[in-house]
Each structure stands twice: as structure tokens, then as C-alpha cells.
Amino acid sequence: MLSPSRHRLRPALLTAAAAVAGLLLAGLPATVSHAADQDSCRPDGLYETPGVDVPYCSVYDESGREKMGADHQRRVIGYFTGWRTGKDGTPAYLAPDIPWDKVTHINYAFAHVDADDRISVGTDGPTNAATGMTWPGVAGAEMDPAYPYQGHFNLLNKFKKQHPDVKTLISVGGWAETGGYFDDSGNRVGSGGFYSMATNADGSVDQAGIDTFADSAVDFVRRYGFNGVDIDYEYPTSMKDAGNPLDRSLSNARRAGLVKGYAALMMTLRERLDRAGAADGRHYLLSVAAPSSGYLLRGMETFQVQKYLDYVNIMSYDLHGAWNEYVGPNASLFDDGKDAELAAAGVYSTSQYGGIGYLNADWAYHYFRGSMPAGRINIGLPYYTRGFKNVTGGTDGLWGRAATTTCPAGSGLTECGDGATGIDDLWHDLDADGQEAPAGSNPMWHAKNLEKGIVGDYVTRYGFPADTTLTGTYARKYDATLVAPWLWNAEKKVFLSTEDEQSVNAKADYVVAQGIGGTMVWELAGDYAWNAAEGQYEPGSTLTSAMYEKFKSASPYGAKRSTIDLPSEALDIDVGFGQFPLGDSNYPISPKLTITNNTSVTLPGGTQFQFDYGTSAPGNAKDQSGWGTTVVRSDHTGDDVGGLKGDYHRVSLKLPSWQTLAPGASVVVDFVYYLPVSTPSNWTVTFDGKTYALAGDLARGTTVVDPGTAAPMPTPSPSTTAGPSPTPTTTATPTPTGGTGSCTDAAWSSTTEYTGGSIVSHQGHTWKAKWWTKGEEPGTTGEWGVWQDLGAC
């Protein structure tokens, strides 16, 4: 499975196929009524920046749910792209075309990381669509003189004045600009982008680059009136050759460090945005566009960045396409047990997978549900098609095969499926040689015209002659199990996977029933409406309006992560999955679970830990360290045809009876599971007859206590079940003094790699590493950093 191509010059063929697995508008200051306790509005599981009174209540209510307006109970997030300006002769899609009363958030795509590691949309000027372009004579596109810039950013803020509940985010990256950017002449510069900004060539975290980017992002949202930042990094995974083939010389060399760099980037962004928000009296949002591919997610460990995000937008589309020969839906909601690509990979026949098909939105949702409340998750819908030609077998093409053919230049692949072309590929990309890349990529308004046998008057603007005629009939088909429509042209053997009212309404019903936060769409310009006067479908808001109608009176979304009642008292015991084998070596998925006791008491033999992991993996997790790991509850068993029925498997494991865990000590457990899961959550620990939550879960309503007295303790280290945390870049403590100089532990070395629990001496004190580190000097990383001061020696 591959991720979406999301750029103005999107390569239609993506990565190797998966086989196995301004302060405010006009720059005015915000006026926010601060609640006495801002933490009462903090969403469940969201990271708290140390020492900062984040104004959560400016965005969230006291249940931790986002405030979006009385008629918006769920999110409708639309990506608005900067390149549909109309200046190239093709139809424009501008801010006045957005259905402002139907959406809750708009993500502007894209900004990029420039050669100096700063966020950028290019050089200001009259040809810059974001900040300089104008559209004289276009109704609604008149510039607002209140802003010192023009272009899309002016118009977005102009309409936000009229629709103050709508939030805008600047989206950074995308398929084509993750590892580089397009200069002012439209040429791609392979600067390294996210890959080199966040991760050095040796795989270590590039904190200097991250700091530069994060500071520039804060400046950017303040200058242009955005409500937050959306990161579209494709992809920080250890899977070889993932992402844009143009970036592989950079990305493959850094694979071992991409996850660490991603975590450091997101933590830094969260903290910088929180500090800016505290100063500005408003909470700035941070989100990501996340892959739905089980293949890519296997190389992203447990997606440790989830705790830093207000919400995640799942790219639950591009599940099938012409990067291989397997003909299937672009964005099915469920599995039907018949997916030809999964069957060829043995997913249905290998018992360890449990028959779980992972190329569908329901699987991807349950992956993220393992670590997040349903309300902090949004599922993605495509307003475009994917398609094949010369299809044989299957049922009306579904689960058939497209003849294998030579791949487009620059795809990085050697053998592809035969993608639809010509009139069946209106929104086609160009390959590296400037030729049409066969993909069957069309806006939904064009697909609707194909379905009705209409040749729209716009075809000449895409290079087709005025007398163009259609060959064969595009019959609409629908599979209710998959929740997937498609067009089948039996004469041409063309299969185009689509979305329409029936599938979108079914997906909206699913969102409501599951308590999901909402939906995200790529991209708004693909939606449709019927123009009776012209007798054709044109860009419109039919699908977006359908979601709005479903959501406007829905019940509030699910704001709580756990489905059980967690104890109100929590202990500072760090738990994290790390040391994952890289790429294809990570199967079965076999990380180390590290448990570190940061309390003042010794945990006795027999201490029981329990946690939940998502039903995206079967309930067959185990350990290989004698801890007796047992799945004590499964909310779902069996295959996932028609959807996974529950959220969690609950696991129990115990400290062996002969072993204790002293204060400051760590223990490592070898763990094994078989499909990717996001960060296990809802931890409890039981000993001496009492059960506690764990502080690192960041659950609402818990208080950190001392186990012996139940007295409240200072807020613990922000490390969580996400595993080793990157080093914060803010507070630092002075170099300790007062030691006797008789330290017996090995002296700290800047060239040595230290794992969690390592003990060193430095500057007359003993220090314990809380997680993996290298080159970070004890005494300089702050109270919340990697090194814990154990006192003078």
C-alpha cells in the first residue's frame, strides 16, 4: 500500500508496493478569557509543555473537545491547494469557492522547508500565489486592504472574518516537497527538506535545524494569521525506498534516524507553539497527515509523536493504484477478505495476521485509536479517482489485474500496473520526462460526467479537442461491504475508483458511530455540483455538504482514550517500546519494552503491569523474557471483514517473582507482535494491593503521587509510553557543583551512546539516562531532559 501523491506535480507512482505488512486576523492581539485551570480543557493524552500555562480553553471546552461552532460537532478539514490559480488556463479554485459554512478547518497546501531550514512559500511578488497574486474581475476574490500581503493568504483571512469558527493551518511538505522544494521558477531543488532538517547524515537528530524551522513556523503563523501548523512529512519511516524516489539518496542514508528526528521535530514544534500561544493568549494547533499504510507504519515504531498532536489526519486513500497490477478501491472503508494484493502477500492465509486486512480506513483508524481518543483522529477521503486500463478478471474489474507495464520515468519502480490515461486521467501528473504518468487521476466532478456520458466543456482547457467523444459506458458499481463505488467501462476495460454521496454518507455515519473527531479531504477542488444550465457537473460542494449535514447534529465526539476507568493516582514509572529492528528486519515486530522506576519505592516481584494496544494487530502479542505476557481481554477476535468490532486488546505482564525494581532502575522485556500498533496506552501498575495509573499516559484527571504516602509529587518527566523522548530545547539547569570528586561510575563521554538506565558521573554528580542519548552533556539538558541528577558523589 502506498501513500497519496499530494502536490501540484504529484508523481502518480509512489513508493514500493506493500507486500507483507499573524497573532490574529489583521495582526490584532487576541482577547481570550483564561480559565482558572487551563488544564481542565486539555485533550486527553495531549503533551503538556513544562512550565507553560497553555491556553487550552481558547480552543477546547472543559471536556477537552474542540469548539468549532454549534452546528459543527465533528471536524470537516479541507485541503486547499495553492496551485489551482487559473493562471495556467485550467479551472481555478480560489478561497471564494470554499464552502466556508460547511468546513471547520482549512489546510493550505503547501509551504516547504527551504535551504536554510526555514518554512517558506517562496519569494514574495505578484506571481506568488500565496502572498502576491491577485485575480482582478473574479467575484469574491477582491483583496482585503487590511493585510500587508495579497494572494491566497489575504483571501483566507478575509473569509475567516466572515466565518470566525473556521480555523486555518499551514501544511508543510507533501509528496513533492518533503525532501526538497520548488523554486520561484518552478524547478525542484533537492535540498533535503524534512530529511536533512531533522536528521543528520549519521542518523543523529539535527536539533539546530529543528530549532530553526520551529522558530520560523511560529513567526509564520503569527505573520499570516494561521491557527496552527500541519506537518505532511512523507515519510519518516525506516522502510527502504519509502517516499518520493527523488529523495532516496538522502532519505535511505538516514533511515536509522528518521523516527528520532521526527519525534524531536514534533516535540519542538509543540513546545514552541505552546510558548507562543501562552504569550498570544490562544492555543495553536499542531497536526500531521499520517500514512495509513501498514507497511510504512511498521517502520515508524509506535508513532511516538501522537502525544504532541491536537489531532491526526489519516491519509486513508491511495490504498490501491497503478504502482502495481492489483485492481482495487482507492479508499475503501472496510476489508472484504478478497483483496488481491493482500491475498498474494499471504495476509489472509498466514495465521499470525489473524486474517486482518490492513488496506482500509477502518484498520488505519484502529491503529491510531490504540493511542488516542477517537476525537483526536480524523479519517481521510479522496475527492479524486485512481484507475487502471486493460483490466482482466475480477468482478466488473474489482480485484482483477491490470497488465504489467513499464513504469513512468522517475517512479523508482521497475514494473507497474497499466494506469488509465487520456480522458480517464484528467488530473494526470507528468513523469520525469515530462510525459503523462498513467494513473486514472480525475477530480470527482469529471468522474461524474464520465458516469453520465457527458463530455464537459472544460476538456479543451486540459488539451482535449472540442469534438472529443467517449468510448463505451462508464457504469457505476458499488460494494457495500467495502463501502466503495467505482466506474467500470467494460468496452475499454477501464476501472476508476470513485467517491460519491452514497460512500461519503456511509463514511460519515461510521465517523459518528465510532465517536471519531471528523474527516479530512484531499482536496476541496475535486468536489462536485450539477450545473443544470450547462448540463454538466462542475466543481462544487456536494460531498462536503453531505458530511456537514451528517455531523451538524451528531453527538459530541469521543474525548476519552480509555474504555475502562483508570485510577486517579498515577506513578512516575516510565514505559516505552524502543530499539526496533530497522525496515524489513522488523518482522515479526520485536521491540524492547523498557520499564524505569522513577518512584521512591522498590517495586516487588510479582508487580503487575497492564496496558491496551489497538485491534489493528491480532490479540497474540507475547514477550520472550519470562514476564508471562497474557492478553486478558480482546475487544475483537477473528478477521476484520466489515470492520474491527472493538478498540483494544488488554495485556497483563508481571515482574518475575525473583526480581525487584529499585528506584532509578530499569528492566528490559523482549516483546513480539505481528501487525503495527501505535503507542500502547491506558497503563496500570499493581503492587502491595493497590493499582495506579502511569503519569506518562497524560490522562485527564490523574494526579502523580508518591506510592508510600499518596502525597502529590511534582510533575514527572514528560517521557511517556511513547518510548524514549527527544531532548527538549528550552529549560536548562546550571552545571552541578558540590561533589567530592570521588565518583565511582564511569565518566560521561560525548562520543558514547547511552541507553535508558545508563549511569555516569560528571561534574561531581551521578547521572542516569532516561532514554537513548549521545553527545548531550549532563547538567545542560534541564529538569525535563534526558539526564536525571542522582546527586553529588
Q: What integer pLDDT is reported at residue 13 of this predicted model?
A: 33
In this prediction, residues 116-128 reach a mean pLDDT of: 98
Kindly write down the DSSP assignment for every residue of 298-341, as one continuous string: HTTTT-GGGGG-SEEEEE---SS-TTSSB---SS-SSB-S--HH
Torsion of CA 167, 173, 177, 179, to 10 degrees: 170
Strands 681-687, 608-614: pairing is antiparallel
SS3 450: helix
The band of 12, judged by pLDDT with boundaries at 50, 70 and 90, is very low
Torsion of CA 218, 222, 228, 229, to 10 degrees: -50
For the stretch 30-39, pLDDT in tens is 333 344 489 9
Backbone φ and ψ for 684, nearest 5 degrees, come out as -135, 155
Q: What integer pLDDT is reported at residue 579 of this predicted model?
A: 96
The band of 769, judged by pLDDT with boundaries at 50, 70 and 90, is confident
Q: Residue 116 pLDDT more than 80?
A: yes
Percent of the chain surpassing pLDDT 70: 90
Tell me how far apart the alpha carbons of residues 430 and 410 are, in angstroms, rounded to a whole number: 10
Q: What integer pLDDT is reported at residue 744 of this predicted model?
A: 85
Q: What integer pLDDT is reported at residue 792 of this predicted model?
A: 83
Of 683 and 714, the structure prediction assigns the larger pLDDT to 683
Q: How many CB atoms lie within 10 A of CB 422?
A: 16
Sign of the Cα pseudo-torsion (694, 696, 702, 704, in order): positive
Lowest mean pLDDT of 636-645, 665-674, 730-739, name the range.
730-739
In this prediction, residues 645-651 reach a mean pLDDT of: 97
Q: What integer pLDDT is reported at residue 709 of this predicted model?
A: 65
Sign of the Cα pseudo-torsion (499, 503, 509, 514, in order): negative
For the stretch 323-354, pLDDT in tens is 999 999 999 999 999 999 999 999 999 999 99
- Return the axis-axis angle of helices 501-514 and 542-551, rounded to nearest 10°: 30
The band of 745, judged by pLDDT with boundaries at 50, 70 and 90, is confident
> ω into residue 235 within 30 of 0, thus cis?
yes
Q: What integer pLDDT is reported at residue 19 of this predicted model?
A: 32
Do the Cβ atoms of 236 and 259 come closer than 8 Å?
yes
Q: Residue 493 pLDDT more than 70?
A: yes
For the stretch 523-544, pLDDT in tens is 999 999 999 999 999 999 999 9
Q: What integer pLDDT is reported at residue 774 of this predicted model?
A: 75
Q: What integer pLDDT is reported at residue 782 of this predicted model?
A: 59
Do the Cβ atoms of 371 and 300 come closer than 8 Å?
no
Q: What integer pLDDT is reported at residue 25 of this predicted model?
A: 33
What residue type is assigned to position 472 of the chain?
G
Q: How many CB atoms lie within 10 A of CB 471?
A: 12
> 428: which 3 cell numbers?
494526470
For the stretch 587-633, pLDDT in tens is 999 999 999 999 999 999 999 999 999 999 999 999 999 999 999 99
The band of 707, judged by pLDDT with boundaries at 50, 70 and 90, is confident
For the stretch 202-214, pLDDT in tens is 999 999 999 999 9
Q: How many CB atoms lie within 10 A of CB 63?
A: 15
Structural domains of the chain sorted by starting position, each given as residue range(s) with its CATH number in brackets: 1-319+360-383+511-525 (3.20.20.80), 569-725 (2.60.40.290), 731-793 (2.10.10.20)
Q: What integer pLDDT is reported at residue 783 of this predicted model?
A: 53
In this prediction, residues 678-694 reach a mean pLDDT of: 97
For the stretch 349-374, pLDDT in tens is 999 999 999 999 999 999 999 999 99
Of 174 and 729, the structure prediction assigns the larger pLDDT to 174
DSSP 603: B
Percent of the chain surpassing pLDDT 90: 83
If you search the block for the grid coordinates 456537514, which residue do you land on? 548
Q: What integer pLDDT is reported at residue 680 of this predicted model?
A: 98
Tell me how far apart the alpha carbons of residues 353 and 366 are, in angstroms, rounded to a whole number: 15
> ω into residue 220 within 30 of 0, thus cis?
no
In this prediction, residues 288-316 reach a mean pLDDT of: 97
Tell me how far apart the alpha carbons of residues 500 and 485 are, in angstroms, rounded to a whole number: 7
| Cβ contacts of 215 within 8 Å, gap of 6 or more | 272
Q: Residue 217 pLDDT more than 90?
A: yes
In this prediction, residues 144-157 reach a mean pLDDT of: 98
For the stretch 83-103, pLDDT in tens is 999 999 999 999 999 999 999
Do the Cβ atoms of 328 and 341 come closer than 8 Å?
yes
In this prediction, residues 240-264 reach a mean pLDDT of: 96
Q: What integer pLDDT is reported at residue 734 of this predicted model?
A: 36
SS (H, E, C) 587-598: CCECCEEEEEEC
Tell me how far apart the alpha carbons of residues 655 and 660 are, in angstroms, rounded to a whole number: 7
Lowest mean pLDDT of 302-306, 314-318, 715-719, 738-742, name the range.
715-719
The band of 2, judged by pLDDT with boundaries at 50, 70 and 90, is very low
For the stretch 537-571, pLDDT in tens is 999 999 999 999 999 999 999 999 999 999 999 99
Tell me how far apart the alpha carbons of residues 13 and 739 are, in angstroms, rounded to a whole number: 61
In this prediction, residues 175-190 reach a mean pLDDT of: 96
The band of 4, judged by pLDDT with boundaries at 50, 70 and 90, is very low
Kindly write down the DSSP assignment for every residue of 459-511, as one continuous string: GGGGT--TT----S--EEEEETTTTEEEEEETTTTEEEE---HHHHHHHHHHH
Mean pLDDT (the chain, rounded) = 91
Lowest mean pLDDT of 227-231, 318-322, 758-762, name the range.
758-762
The band of 127, judged by pLDDT with boundaries at 50, 70 and 90, is very high
The band of 461, judged by pLDDT with boundaries at 50, 70 and 90, is very high
Kindly write down the DSSP assignment for every residue of 497-549, as one continuous string: E---HHHHHHHHHHHHHHT--EEEEE-GGG-EEEETTTTEEEE--HHHHHHHH
Q: How many CB atoms lie within 10 A of CB 433?
A: 9
Do the Cβ atoms of 478 and 485 come closer than 8 Å?
yes
Tell me how far apart the alpha carbons of residues 455 and 598 are, in angstroms, rounded to a whole number: 68
